[in-house]
Amino acid sequence: MLQIIDVDYIEDFKLALAFSDGFEGIVDLKDIFSSHPFNTFVNQFLNFSLTNGTLCWGHDTCVNPNHLKEIAISHITNKIYINPHDPLAIITAAFQDSLIEDDPSILQAALKSYADQIGMSSLIKESGIKSRSSAYKSLSPSGSPKWETIVKIAHSIIQTANTSNQSSICATDLLNKI
């Protein structure tokens, strides 16, 4: 039987939940708290309890853990499994995170991680970048690279991974940084 083993308040009607099967997710209960019987607890949202693995308000107003897991899963749009051996997936996720966070250093860090694994000399040769310093500056957090350089570097990383089928090109450490 699925149970909730941990609950953390985030904001408004959002909670972070950990389930007994190892799944963790965020639920937004705003819609549930707009209807009976939960609407009577709107002003007491933070007064929840975890009773026998079920999230409850009051003595008997509870939400089934399976339903909460379904809600959490339905809210996972940007949190998909990313294979750490797939540079395209990692670079795509890093690019998306850079856009969302308005922080180009996220993408630069992802590219630099791969560049370090492949070797900067090989990457420069493969990408056709004319200057070694340009490549290093492009991947530096303080650098302001040209879009063309970033695309060339990313393309070279993906091509190198695809042609060599190197299992050593892996972003496990990178995923922990992002």
Residues 101 and 59 in one domain: no
Tell me the per-residue pLDDT of 93-116, one tens digit each, with 9 for 90 and over. Answer: 888 888 888 888 888 888 888 888
In a domain, 82, yes or no: no
Please state, in angstroms and as integers, the Cα–Cα distance from residue 103 to each residue in 97, 100, 135, 147, 159, following that order: 8, 8, 19, 14, 25
Which of these three, 74, 98, 131, is where a domain ends?
Answer: 74
Tell me the per-residue pLDDT of 51-83, one tens digit each, with 9 for 90 and over. Answer: 889 999 988 899 999 999 989 887 765 455 666
Tell me the per-residue pLDDT of 117-136, one tens digit each, with 9 for 90 and over. Answer: 888 888 888 888 888 888 88
In a domain, 28, yes or no: yes
Q: How many domains does the chain have?
A: 2
Show the domain range for 17. Answer: 4-74
pTM value is 0.50
